Amino acid sequence: MVGPLDVGIFIAYLLVLLAIGYYTSGLMKSFEEFSVAGRRMKLWLAFSTVAATWIGGGVTVGVAARAYAGRMVGAWGTTIGFGSTLIILGLLYAGPLRRLRLHTLADYYTHRFGKGWLGSISGLVMYVAYVFAVTAQVVAGSVLLSTVFGWSYELSVLVSGGVVVAYTVLGGLWAVALTDFVQLVITFTGILIALALGVSFVGPQKLAELVAEAGVFDPRVLLVFDFWALFLVLALGDIPAPDLIQRVYASRDDRTAKVSSILAGLSYYAAGTVSILVGVIMRYLEPELPDPNLAYPTMIALFLPTGAAGLVLAGLMAAVMSNADSMLLAPSIVLVKNVVKELLRRELSEEELFRGSRYAIIALGVLAIAAGLARADVLYWLTLAFDVLFASLFVPLTLGLFWSSFEWRGATASIVLGALSRLLLEWALSVGVVEEWWVASLGAPLVSLVAGVVVTLISRGSSLRRSVSGD
């Protein structure tokens, strides 16, 4: 049961986060320090901040909930899909992007296609998508706090969202990176304690029986279409994530960017596997929970001894907050540097970039808190966020890197038609015209791909004809 010691551990954890934010605010001598940590991150810090950025409420509360509900396709699809994002990023994207020495992902669209407004359009898409992504983390943290401490959900939303906004505003990427290192250690300590105590409750033999009954390691999961659909959406859709690319830019060299991403992907697989086992254990210990999302927090509230409960809660909240701080910072910098700056049509001073980014972080946090109060569904918000990125930004990023003839008209068509088709398909899902979720999640990126390729080929053909006529 949760006691005063557990509350003390959790409060101490929050105070450490705020202290790091305050300390790192003194390190912010330039916007480059604030946005990409001076491009000086060594491997240990780059790995920890990439891993902590990705290991959040989705792979803890969300994956445990799917396992508790017996939805192994969703549990493994989420774990392997999100983890594979980092592996693919490290193998194919990190090196080419790091060598560009940019500040934001939106900078890439401006740099590659030579149109500032393409950076602005992509930046707006990122900001909107990350309202949904931050909402997922706020909801996950709020479910934990309300279940464990008995607080109202509304108060839990304000605490969960307010603390992460505060230290992110104070210290920028240095605060996020240093807290991520601390929080990654706390996260793995917490979830491993939860698993170890869960195994002690049921015994190793019973756990083996539960795992077999639930089909946790049943290879037939790989034969289910929904698994591969979810894998594609998450593994590819999350590559144009501004917080991930921010860490690529902040790495001290290409090798650091590549290796840190691959190692972080492997750690994500490990975290997801632990959460699946915790969900299976809780399905046996508490089979009548009204909401599968309560699996992890109920274990903390009812089954863990004093002290251990505080550590596990801090671990799960560390996963949530280390994810949320990155999701707050990167798109907020994008909004100021790539959208506001383009609209004003002038260079912004260091002070204006600092101040604008901090206002954008606060605005994003407020919008996420409002959305979290409206709907408490972690994986709904998370999937929606990365669906938007997959539908609009993945194709122009990938074709821009690996197809030299891909040009701005194709990129524009890809972003705009991909985003519009995703909105249309979301409406079709809501009214029942489309029944399968994957039609919207995979259909919109397909539209984006076809539009980008066709428009580029038509444009190249027109250019060639004009060249021949001119000769």
Query: Could you report the per-residue pLDDT of 108-151, keeping only the tens digit for each?
Result: 999 999 998 999 999 999 999 999 988 988 888 888 888 888 88
Distances (CA, A) of 450 to 11, 231, 455, 462: 52, 21, 8, 18
Long-range contacts of 455-458 (CB under 8 A, 24+ apart): 455/409, 455/410, 455/412, 455/413, 455/414, 456/399, 456/405, 456/406, 456/407, 456/409, 456/410
Show the CA angle centred on residue 86, arms to residues 67 and 389, nearest 5°.
Answer: 85
User: Two tokens at 72?
Assistant: 């192994």
pLDDT of the residue at 246: 84
pLDDT of the residue at 172: 59
Enclosing H/E stretch for 22: helix 4-25
pLDDT of the residue at 311: 80
Chain centroid, CA 210 distance in Å: 31
pLDDT of the residue at 378: 77
pLDDT of the residue at 271: 93
Predicted model pTM: 0.86
pLDDT of the residue at 36: 57
pLDDT of the residue at 302: 82
pLDDT of the residue at 217: 93
SS3 for 450? helix
pLDDT of the residue at 28: 56
Going from the N-terminus, what domains does the chain have, and what CATH number goes with each? 4-378 (1.20.1730.10), 403-471 (no CATH)
pLDDT of the residue at 21: 66
Q: Which residues of the chain have pLDDT under 50?
A: none
Name the CA dihedral angle for 463, 465, 466, 471, rounded to a multiple of 10 degrees. Answer: 130
pLDDT of the residue at 263: 95
